[in-house]
Amino acid sequence: MLEDKTELLKKKIDPLRLKFPTSVISEFLDYWTEPKQRWELEKTWDTERRLTRWANNNFTPKRTEIKGFQTQPQKGPTNEIERLDQFLMAYKKHPTNFQFIDLAKWYDLMKENKLLRPFTKAEVLEIQEVYKNDNLKCRAACVYETFKGYAKTDLIFSDILKMRK
């Protein structure tokens, strides 16, 4: 029964997956699907509005004590490059936790800041052919290929930008 209710909320979230990072959706689900299905206890519920507010407020329950250990509250990212760095760090730790298509949302920011790896004409044509010119998937592929390179290093995007100054 509990699994059915969790699946119901997941189905409500499915159309919103391109709008939010996988990490935000995971944290949101962890919080709202406690054993009592917290989301069902609310008087009113609009999944998209709740998830938007969650993401905009960078809401992650900040616990100062976890299993008896004191921890410092986490400082959230303050700009898009820091958000991109945070996404990259999470990707490096668990690349399979992310939907391929989620990578596409970083394309414009990375292109604007010259953070995408250079692609040859042949590579671009191959990506276009593989993804049948689906612009969103082609963008995701470019970000994916760039992330693969960075995942092998300790560099993050803000480091690259600092080195250029």
pLDDT in tens, 77-117: 778 999 898 888 888 887 777 788 889 999 999 999 999 99
**Which pLDDT does position 35 carry in this prediction?**
63
Contacting residues for 8 by C-beta, under 8 A, at least 6 apart: none
CA separation for the pair 142, 104 (Å, rounded): 8
The amino acid occupying position 30 is: D
CB contact at 8 A, 20 and 55 = yes
Which residue stretches of the chain have pLDDT < 70? 1-3, 34-37, 58-76
What's the pTM value of the predicted model, to 2 decimals?
0.55
